[in-house]
Chain A
Amino acid sequence: MKILVCISNVPDTTTKIKLVNNNSGYDKTGVQWIINPWDELALTRALLLKEEQGSPITEISVINVGTKDTEPTLRKALAVGADDAIRVDAEAKDAYYVAAQIAEVVKNNGYDIVLCGIESSDYNGSAVGGMLSELLDVPSVSSVSGLFIEDGKVKLNREIDGGTQVLATETPFVAIVQKGIALDPRIPAMRGIMMARKKPLVVLPPADIEALTEYIDYEMPQAKSACKMIDEDNAGDMIRLLHEEAKAI
């Protein structure tokens, strides 16, 4: 069984967003680029599955659609333990463009399980995994918080609106994973970092695909007005204010 983990290259989640060039972009100076947190959890789960005794997983690949700037992020995925990496050499224009590029690679390489994070922390699109599965015409299981392989059969835990499901599916499939899939992301060790330099990172030319959407410009949220403070000893006043002034109760 081969697993492909889709990796998005995003600014560190603590990055303060500052708009530049008439709000057409954000300031990228000094930004730390990381593996999208949910993709990192997906990769961690894939590695744990591969390490299980008698695991049917033989290979874990990672893929990113991006320019050469994203290679350090792919190297980090290799350092954590992925076997090989693929970079489709193109700007990630929109979710459809990215999904269609990855779909081409999956069709050529034949993975059994494709893992995507539930969203990327930059544009919060939650779109690539679902689109990819539709383009491949395979099942997708979304908001997955548990992924297990027992006797060669796949079992997933999934959160739905108003509950949870335990389900089985056939391979190949796409799992779109969220919190719970792994507890903490794996951190690369020095040995892993050394080994990562020698692992294959294949650069592929992009397929001819047209994006369906484009980002025009950005807008900062309105600044909140000052917080109205109420005394600890008169806390009940808060409830009356919320009723009379804010009309929220």
Chain B
Amino acid sequence: MSVLVYTENWEGKFKKLSFELLSYASEIAAQSGDQVVALSIGKVGENELNLLGNYGASKVLAVGYDGELDNQVYTSIIAQAVEKEDATIVIMSDNFTGKALAPRVSAKLKAGLVTGAVAVPASFDPFVVKKKAFTGKTFVHVKVNTAKKVISLIGNSVEIKETANAISIEKFGATLPEAKTSVKEVNRLTGRILLTDAEIIVSGGRGMKSADNWAPLEEFAEILGAATACSRPVSDEGWRPHHEHVGQTGKIVAPNLYFALGISGAIQHIAGVSGSKILVAVNKDKDAPVFEVADYGIVGDVQKVLPQFITAAKELKANS
């Protein structure tokens, strides 16, 4: 039997989340005595595929197909891999791709689904997994009653562990059903750090005052290798594009470090960032709710603080 991990790649390289998923799967496999099989769909080179062994995979099923994401086609490939490898647990990310595929895979296999998992199973018999609920306001323990299981994991929930495994790479010629959706146009954010994949996020709110004040924020983000984001009022005002909106109705993020600059911390915004390891808040209102959830804070004007951040970050990078 095996634990199957659906890995994801971006511009030919595996995303960090793939290594997290493998680390997570390895912990499960160590307890259940199964092997970890990684499924890779897309054009990925052999060297890159071999990397997966460093995170606990003992086998990679490589599907060369790189068609646009069609939920039915990809679900079919995953289901075929499950059958081939006699997988009892399927693991994927709780991102847009995972949200698209995990429920379909679950229904196809009649496998109990836990989305938004944040930890390895608390117990195996019964099989209980902790997941996020009420957008991070609480957690709930879910018991899965079926032999097969599907779990989607929230980013940054587990440490990446390197455990070198001898790895075999197998080209997997899955049967492809005909896609019933046809993609007319794709816009890729090429060469950019994806918000949902970023280690550091620099986010601006209404305290930034206007669309014209974003240059220092962008400069700061670039020095840190961070992605930029914003709060809802900012995207509603059109100061920043909608895909940067972080919060309950926008993107849910969980980076290592989140800068909330000029963001007061409405409950809907906090719901979207509460998974961040370290939260830094800068706000001129000392009573802003963001300070209740922040780890580090400055009561002050973003306009004054950002140039100091930039200088200090430049010094730090120059010395490292």
Contacts and interface: CB of A to CB of B under 8 A. Distances in A.
Interface of A: 11, 13-17, 19, 26, 37-38, 94-96, 99, 118-119, 121-135, 138-143, 145, 155, 159-170, 173, 176, 178-180, 211-221, 224-225, 227-232, 234-243, 246, 248-249
B31 interface: no
Contacts, number: 285
B299 A232 contact: yes
Contacts of B95: 161
A242 B180 CA distance: 49
B300 A170 contact: no
Contact of B72 (A15, A140, A155): A140
B124 interface: no
A163 B72 contact: no
29 contacts: A13-B135, A13-B271, A15-B134, A16-B137, A122-B134, A123-B134, A124-B135, A125-B116, A127-B102, A127-B113, A128-B103, A130-B104, A131-B107, A134-B106, A139-B181, A142-B100, A159-B243, A161-B96, A161-B97, A164-B186, A165-B183, A166-B186, A167-B183, A216-B143, A218-B138, A219-B138, A219-B141, A243-B316, A249-B200
Interface of B: 8, 10, 68-72, 75, 94-97, 99-104, 106-108, 110-116, 128, 130-146, 180-189, 194, 196-197, 200, 224, 242-243, 245, 248-250, 256-257, 267-268, 271, 274, 277-278, 280-282, 291-301, 304-305, 308-309, 311-313, 315-316
A198 to B, nearest CB: 33
Contacts of A231: 298
A155 B133 CA distance: 32
B186 to A, nearest CB: 5
Given A130-B101, A165-B186, A232-B300, 14 more contacts: A17-B138, A119-B99, A131-B106, A139-B180, A141-B181, A165-B185, A168-B181, A215-B141, A216-B141, A227-B291, A236-B315, A239-B309, A248-B257, A248-B277
Contact of B298 (A99, A132, A168, A238): A238
Nearest to B243: A159
A160 B96 contact: yes
B308 A236 contact: yes
Contacts of B185: 165-167
A14 B294 CA distance: 19
Contacts of B72: 139-140
Contact of B145 (A170, A214, A234): A214
A143 B100 CA distance: 8
Contacts of A121: 134-135, 248
Contacts of B100: 130, 140, 142-143, 176
Nearest to B307: A235
A128 B72 CA distance: 15
Contacts of A135: 107
